């Protein structure tokens, strides 16, 4: 058995172990970002397959979860971009609700309104908001995850909160 083949089991085992440890949390993150569990699971699986594919080049990866999270967020962005194109066709036929039936059942009316407001945010604002308030990241950590400056995170977050506040206020009036 040559060295390359010898690596395969450990690589496979390591990625599978990471999947078992982190897939649920990452799918939840992707659901918050995309509002759709099917898409979220696809995105997360792609992230793990990407990790598996690049394992050779990532042997010194100190924080695989951070890498996977960035990969998932990038996948969410791609998915939303594709969905936006598709929505333009689909919405001619019918309005497709973004929240699942389960989400609609489990979320209060106010939370559903907030979820809709989050869904309507530009992607970067949504991402900043999710990193800051769902994952409870500091501004610096969110900036690192988004690969933008801390000020950009602050700006995007404040805009997002203001937009949601306005949406909720309008809903009350």
**Span 143-172, contacts to other proteins by CB under 8 A:** 143-144, 146-152, 154-156, 158-159, 161-166, 168-169
Residue among 85, 18, 77, 9 at smallest CA distance from 45: 18
Tokens of 10: 């450990």
Using the rule CB under 8 A, is 64 a contact of other proteins?
no
Q: CB 10 → other proteins: shortest distance, Å?
A: 12
User: Which member of 21, 78, 97, 171 binds other proteins (CB under 8 A)?
Assistant: 78
Residues 71, 42 contacting (CB under 8 angstroms) = no
Tokens of 139: 């501004």
Distance CA 160, CA 126 (A): 7
User: Which member of 1, 6, 21, 45 binds other proteins (CB under 8 A)?
Assistant: 45
- Mask for 119-148, x = binds other proteins (CB under 8 A): xxxxxxxxx-xx--xx-----x--xx-xxx
């Amino acid at each position: 058995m040559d060295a390359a083949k010898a690596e395969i089991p450990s690589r496979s085992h390591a990625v599978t172990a990471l999947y078992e440890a982190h897939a649920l949390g990452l799918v939840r993150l992707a659901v918050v970002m995309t509002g759709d569990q099917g898409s979220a699971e696809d995105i997360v699986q792609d992230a793990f397959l990407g990790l598996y594919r690049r394992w050779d080049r990532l042997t010194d990866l100190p924080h695989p979860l951070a890498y996977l999270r960035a990969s998932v967020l990038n996948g969410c962005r791609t998915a939303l971009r594709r969905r936006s194109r598709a929505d333009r066709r689909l919405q001619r036929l019918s309005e497709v609700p973004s929240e699942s039936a389960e989400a609609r059942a489990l979320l209060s009316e106010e939370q559903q309104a907030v979820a809709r407001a989050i869904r309507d945010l530009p992607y970067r604002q949504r991402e900043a908001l999710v990193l800051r308030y769902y994952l409870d990241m500091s501004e610096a950590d969110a900036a690192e995850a988004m690969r933008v400056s801390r000020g950009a995170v602050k700006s995007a977050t404040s805009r997002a909160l203001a937009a949601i506040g306005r949406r909720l206020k309008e809903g009350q009036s």
